[in-house]
Amino acid sequence: MAFLTTDGIMNTSKRILILTVDSGSGHRSAANAIAAALREGYGDRCSIEIVNPMADRRTPAILRRSSADYDRIVRVLPGLYKLGYEATDEPVPSSVIENALRLMMLDVMRALVNHHRPDVIVTTYPLYQYPLETVFALQRRTIPLVNVVTDLVTLHRLWFSPVADLCLVPTPQAQELALSHGLPAERVRLTGIPVHPRLVRRERSQAELRAELGLRPELTTFLALGSPRVPQLAEMLTAVNHSGLPIQLLAVAGGDVGLYQQLQNTTWHLPVRVFHYVHDMAPLYQAADGLISKAGGLTVAEALACGLPLLLIGVIPGQETGNAHYVIEGGAGERAETPLAVLEILCHWLADGGRVLAERAARARALGRPRAAHDAAELIWGAAQRPTLPYPPLVWQRWGRWLRQRWAFWR
């Protein structure tokens, strides 16, 4: 695709390849947010493709199953997930994983690079950096690579590969961690986690949005987000339903069929709108005064960008532990592990005319980064202007020996 510049010179649009995954919705949401910001900022000057290599048939089955395995393990065996997360966040096991990924995903990554011929590659998932480095070595050239981190504080060392030209981090704590893992300061940029521009672009008043959603415009409104990874949401909302509190709910099952049916079959004693799955969350976020959900990276980032206090009812051990601490220590929310704790927090927030709720909202706005997607898009666009470079000869020699040995064994 070509376009005419302001100087009347014909130029070619930049091809941007965004690699993501669908284990949890956060990685995909960040990819969609970046794509939307790039289209808003650069229009026809960029051609964007979002791809999930883990779903590619050339990817080994053990990796293709990882999304479903992730959902099952974090729901049924969270302690085991935590153990595995912490055990692999050490130099030796991490190196084993890196080398396995280089071999197992080499074919699919090479095919994607050759098919899309990108001017820049963006990753919202850490594991793709290592096979990409191998592709660059085999092809003896590098393509600008931008790595977008999608959790706030507790980050696995696999996020921090030196192959990335830029590592976009969400918090000062993540920035310090990236530097401690040896990334050069000029390659680490603090942007926040990208949230979709629609979420923070208000076009209608809160009262209008509530009326359109069938709710009472004057009532304090909480958005409750569920998914297969938030199994306790129904129990928590049952307690709220019988509390007599002067509130109303927007309840989203997040594609969890069992949760949706349970919410649909509930006899509600307060105004409620129940949704199975919502593609455009902007009206719901903007209609709400607070959020009830788990401490997922994108969920937290979206709530903070919209100035919504968070009542956290679930934390996946490992990466989400830091997300919860960030919210609580920043004064933007609280954690509740039981239905009684949910009621205690809501009563506290609503007392004195909602004074504490307003304080929490102010802290959420202070922590939020509503322009994160646009800031990331600007850096990605800048990276796309750089030419591909020959792979460093000494590095190629080292990788060539390593790859010949391993590839012969693997085949």
The predicted model scores a pTM of 0.86
Residue 335, Cα to own-chain centre: how many angstroms? 20
Strand partners, 274: 251
Residues 252, 278 contacting (CB under 8 angstroms):
yes
CA distance 210 to 215: 5
Residues 19, 122 contacting (CB under 8 angstroms):
yes
Enumerate domains of the chain plus CATH numbers: 2-195+371-410 (3.40.50.2000), 204-367 (3.40.50.2000)
pLDDT of residue 393: 54
Rounded to 5 degrees, φ, ψ at 59 are -75, 135
pLDDT of residue 187: 96
Q: What are the pLDDT tens digits along the chain (411 aa)? A: 444 444 444 456 899 999 999 876 689 999 999 999 999 999 999 999 999 998 888 888 877 776 665 555 555 545 545 555 555 666 777 787 888 888 888 999 999 999 999 999 999 999 999 999 999 998 888 899 999 999 898 888 889 999 999 999 999 999 999 999 999 999 999 999 999 999 999 889 999 999 999 999 999 999 999 888 787 899 999 999 999 999 999 999 988 899 999 999 999 999 999 999 898 999 999 999 999 999 988 999 999 999 999 999 988 777 788 899 999 999 999 999 999 999 999 999 999 999 999 999 999 999 999 999 999 999 999 999 987 767 665 444 455 555 545 544 444
Residue among 346, 166, 152, 171 at smallest CA distance from 243: 346
Could you tell me which residues come within 8 angstroms of residue 26 by beta carbon, excluding any fewer than 6 positions away? 150, 151, 193, 296, 297, 298, 299
Amino acid at 248: Q
Residue among 229, 364, 213, 378 at smallest CA distance from 280: 213
Residues 36, 198 contacting (CB under 8 angstroms):
yes
pLDDT of residue 1: 46
Rounded to 5 degrees, φ, ψ at 153 are -135, -55
Q: Which two tokens stand for residue 1?
A: 């695709």
pLDDT of residue 114: 94
CA distance 260 to 249: 14
CA distances (Å), 244 to each of 103, 235, 240, 271, 347, in order?
58, 16, 8, 11, 10
